[in-house]
Amino acid sequence: MTVVTDELTVSGAVRALCDQSSEVHVRPRYEGNNICTWIGFKHVNYLVEEAVLEHFRKAGLSSRRLFEEFGLGVDIVALDTRILNAFHLDDSGIATVVPTIGTDDNTLSFTVTIVRDGSRTKDVTSKVTVLLRIDTYIEEPAELPAELSRFAVRRLATSAPGELIKEADTTSLAAGRGSAAAPENDPVLASLTDGRNAFGWKWRIPYPYCHNNERLQMSGYLRQMEEVVDLFLADRGISIKTLLDERRWIPVVPHSEITFLDEALMEENLYTVYTVEEIFKDFTYRSRMDTYVVRDGRLVQTATGVITHGYAVIENRRDWRLVNFDQRVLSALGGR
């Protein structure tokens, strides 16, 4: 199939995408204020994602146009975000997207900064990598203009298959969407968590976390990272609600990062492993999230990421302050 298009228009759009910065007003969604009026890391990353998608729109290459006309899916495949100041419900800000694409690069990379209205400093900074994934699910792709083919890939990433392993049948629909069963009841989780200060979770990838008909997308991984933290803390006896009720303590996230290593597909079983790597001076701790699927009887890693947490005490409906970990929290994080 060949799409007839104006080469000059596409050429100019690609130049705008790669060479020109853009700005957009952003405002967090109501769904993101889970504790008082503060916005969590997942929804801050959603603001970054929306800024990048708007940059594509302003260049004349919206995600819809790229998919419908050229058979290209817009995939954020790496996201590295630092939250320097908290966003609140109803805050608005200006997101600036600056391309960082070299002349010979075949990936689309950007820096995103967000400054809240009235702020004199950057409140969010992020590095974002985007690939244009050639769609073959509906039909064979169009013949691409040269300017776009430079960034087009037939697969987002490919991870080398690992060890042979047999899956346990613990994600049937009758048993629920997923399982956080004891590792000894699941050979995959046992293999992935053995000897590590880690928590494992098996989960069936549902379609609301996917896009382009088949693939788990970055926002789905952000939701996965948020949920595995919630399950880990509950498993260690310091669930979010427990510390909220007992101390008015809440987790806060200054940094998160996710990178794709392979594609994960709708209705595959995703194994998510959350490992505490380092505790810094009883004040913050860094954890790694790794995700896997089993294909042809072998483990395949699909993504990796890191997230840094601290704790804050709620002083009133408007304010909080950071606190040091006590022995109970240190023991739980350390697996003791």
Residues 181 and 203 in one domain: yes
Residues 88, 125 share a domain: yes
Three-state DSSP string of 20-81: CCEEEEECCCHHHCCECCECCHHHHHHHHHHHHHHHHHHHCCCHHHHHHHHCEEEEEEEEEE
Closest CA to 99 of 7, 218, 14: 14
Same domain? For 141 and 226 the reply is no
Task: Render pLDDT for 244-301 as a digit per residue (tens, 0 to 9).
Answer: 999 999 999 999 999 999 999 999 999 999 999 999 989 999 999 999 999 999 999 9
pLDDT of residue 139: 85
The answer to whether 155 touches 215, Cβ cutoff 8 Å, is: no
Could you give the CA distance from residue 124 to residue 82 in angstroms, rounded to a whole number? 6
Domain boundary at 128, 154, 180, which? 154
Whole-angstrom distance, CA of residue 196 vs CA of residue 276: 9
* CA 122 to chain CA mean position, Å: 21
Shared domain for 169 and 211, answered yes or no, is yes
Q: Is the pLDDT of residue 7 over 80?
A: no
pLDDT at residue number 184: 65
Last residue of a domain, one of 154, 171, 189: 154
> Are residues 218 and 252 located together in one domain of the fold?
yes
27 and 4 within one domain: yes
> Do 12 and 144 have their domain in common?
yes
Chain segment 257-272, per-residue pLDDT in tens = 999 999 999 999 999 9
Provide the number of structural domains found in the chain.
2
Q: Provide the CATH number for the domain around residue 22.
A: 3.10.129.10
pLDDT(330) > 90: yes
**Quick check: 322 and 283 in contact, CB under 8 A?**
yes
Phi, psi angles (nearest 5°) of residue 140: -60, 140
Locate 285 and state its tokens.
């701790």
Residues 128 and 167 in one domain: no
Interval 146-169 mean pLDDT: 91
Two structure tokens written together for 44: 């801050």
* CA dist., res. 53 & res. 47, Å (int): 10
**Is 176's pLDDT higher than 50?**
no
* Strand, coil or helix: 197: coil
> Considering the entire predicted model, what is its pTM?
0.93
Cβ atoms of residues 151 and 77 within 8 Å: no
Q: Judge if 108 and 224 occupy the same domain.
A: no
The residue among 275, 281, 334, 335 whose CA lies nearest residue 307 is 275
Look at residue 192 in the predicted model and tell me its pLDDT. 93
Domain assignment of residue 27, given as a range: 1-154
Find all residues with CB under 8 Å of 298, minimum gap 6, and list them: 161, 162, 163, 164, 165
Burial class (CB in 10 A: 0-12, 13-18, 19+), 265: middle
Question: Strand, helix or coil at 318?
Answer: coil
Q: Supply the mean pLDDT for the chain.
A: 92
**Domain end call among 106, 128, 154:** 154
Do 164 and 268 belong to one domain?
Answer: yes
